[in-house]
Each structure stands twice: as C-alpha cells, then as structure tokens.
Amino acid sequence: MCGRFANTLASDAMVQLFEAAPANTLPCVPNYNVCPTTDIHVIYRGDDHRRLVPMRWGFIPKWYKAPNDGPLLINARAETLAEKPAFHEACRLRRCLIPADGFYEWHRPEGGDKQPWFIQPAGEGPMVFAGIWQDWERDGRRLSTCAMVTTEAEGRMADIHHRIPVLLRPEDWAKWLGEEGHGAATLMRAAPDDALRFHRVSRAINSNRATGPELIEEINE
C-alpha cells in the first residue's frame, strides 16, 4: 500500500499543467509528509472541463454512517477495483488524478527494522497517481473523498514492497479521466524500473508530525 507521499508543486502550476479550473481553496504546499485523512490536490473531470479541488485522502463508501464507520480506504486494489461494492461505481464514473513529487514506502530486511524509501519519477515532471473519488453525505455533513489505485509491484520496487500506486503518464491522463472513451483498465499496470528513482530516507518520516524538505533527502547507512 502507499500511505505517505510528498507534493511540492504549486497550485498555480497544477492548474496550468492539468488545464484545470481551481477551487477557491486548496491544500497548502509544499507538503513533504502527506498523510491519510488530510485534504490533497485532486483533478477530476466535471461536466465539461477539468477541476482541481481538495479531497480527503480516505474514500468513504456511501453506506458509512460516519467517516470512521469502517476501514480507512486510502488505497484500492486494481485487481478488484471493478468488483468491490465500495469502488465499482467510482471505477466506472469517478476517476481522478493525484499529483505528487513521489511516495514513501517501507522495506523490512530479514531480521531488521523497517527502512523508509522515497520513490520518485526518473525524469522531469510530477508523479501522477491514478485515483477514484466519491462524495459522501450524512446528516448535513458532506465530504469529497478519494483513494489511490495500487497494483502488484514489479522489478526493483517489488524488492522494497509488493504493491505500488498505478502511475499515469501525461498521455494517459485523458483516458483515465474518461475523456477518450473506454480503455482505462489497460492503464492499471506497474511502472517499469526505468521510470523510477529510489533512495533511502531518514526514519524521521515515521512520524506523521514530521515536516520539511529533509524528509526526502537521501541518506546512506
């Protein structure tokens, strides 16, 4: 699963990059330690244009009586996305893009402690996760919520963790958002090793209160 990521791209830059109309209020950036249940930047397709909006990272099924009425759904498995009752409608109708600089994952060597890694794009530009979203409303309270789609990891990533977020290239954004007809399911595959860079980072990231650019700096131990 992916449980933390970093995002430093300015909101204005996201508006231009994704050609999206921004909401009036958006999450603060930079954020080097984006945690579940916080609001994150999300791009989705509105009636006739893309929108950049804040959404709670933690998908809430419609039948939850409260946001904490069941498991915290920050990730959705690509292999069962179209079948799970919580996700199948969003999979068809409400797909979104989640921009980031990269994400953190933890590897536990045999007999050792968990070691955090930062995984980022090998080239220029942001990392963009495939996501799904849904509005949840109960007793006058309304939340826009989302989850990140993950798939089975391959190559070097599999040595760190067995799952990886589905990463979308710029040429895939329109298809995932449903702007180019069908075929989004073909995008739910693991990124190849040559598309990614990996490095160890400080265990300071273990705390959800940790902040600052030093969290993504490479360490050698």
Residues serving a catalytic function are 2, 105
C-alpha to C-alpha distance for 120 and 124, rounded to whole angstroms: 10
Regarding beta strands 196-200 and 141-152, do their DSSP bridges make them parallel or antiparallel, or are they unpaired?
A: unpaired
C-alpha to C-alpha distance for 52 and 162, rounded to whole angstroms: 31
C-alpha to C-alpha distance for 149 and 199, rounded to whole angstroms: 23
Both tokens assigned to 199 = 């490095």
Sign of the C-alpha dihedral computed for residues 89, 92, 51 and 104 taken in this order: positive
Nearest to 60 by CA among 41, 80, 74: 74
Residue type present at position 153: A
DSSP 102-118: EEEEEE--TTS--EEEE
Spatial CB neighbours of 203, under 8 Å, sequence gap ≥ 6:
115, 116
